[in-house]
Amino acid sequence: QKEVEQNSGPLSVPEGAIASLNCTYSDRGSQSFFWYRQYSGKSPELIMFIYSNGDKEDGRFTAQLNKASQYVSLLIRDSQPSDSATYLCAVKATGGKLIFGQGTTLQVKP
């Protein structure tokens, strides 16, 4: 079992729809969870972080964390073509390493 798992996609949604990206992790001791957005040819850009169970909202983005289920998700409301990118889920595991999932490619179609 991979330490951080994401569906590689591509996930295709129409413009204006909600995009839902999911991630599971294996280390129950993990405390910090991150979503990075990466455009082709660019470096990862931090868009959300979450430490506590529940929801965290920032503009059109909502991160959701369920530690009991070892599950973290990212919702993007009113998706725009400019949101088309690869979204990397990352988990800071016990020992301090930041471990990435394989990334989900999101395509927002006009």
For another protein (CB under 8 A), the number of binding residues is: 22
> What is the 3-state secondary structure of the chain?
CCCEEECCCCEEEECCCCEEEEEEECCCCCCEEEEEEECCCCCCEEEEEECCCEEEEECCEEEEEECCCCEEEEEECCCCHHHCEEEEEEEECCCCCEEECCCEEEEEEC
Q: Would you count residue 49 as binding another protein (CB under 8 A)?
A: yes
The footprint of another protein on residues 59-98 (CB under 8 A) is 88, 90, 92, 96-98
Residue closer to another protein by CB (options 71, 100) is 100
List, in order, residues 6 or more apart from 14 with CB less than 8 Å away: 79, 108, 109
Q: Contact letters (x/-) for another protein, 1-40, by CB under 8 A?
A: ------------------------------xx-x-x----
Given candidates 18, 39, 45, 54, which one binds another protein under the rule CB under 8 A?
45
Residue closer to another protein by CB (options 18, 98) is 98
Residues that bind another protein (CB under 8 A): 31-32, 34, 36, 42-46, 49, 51, 88, 90, 92, 96-103
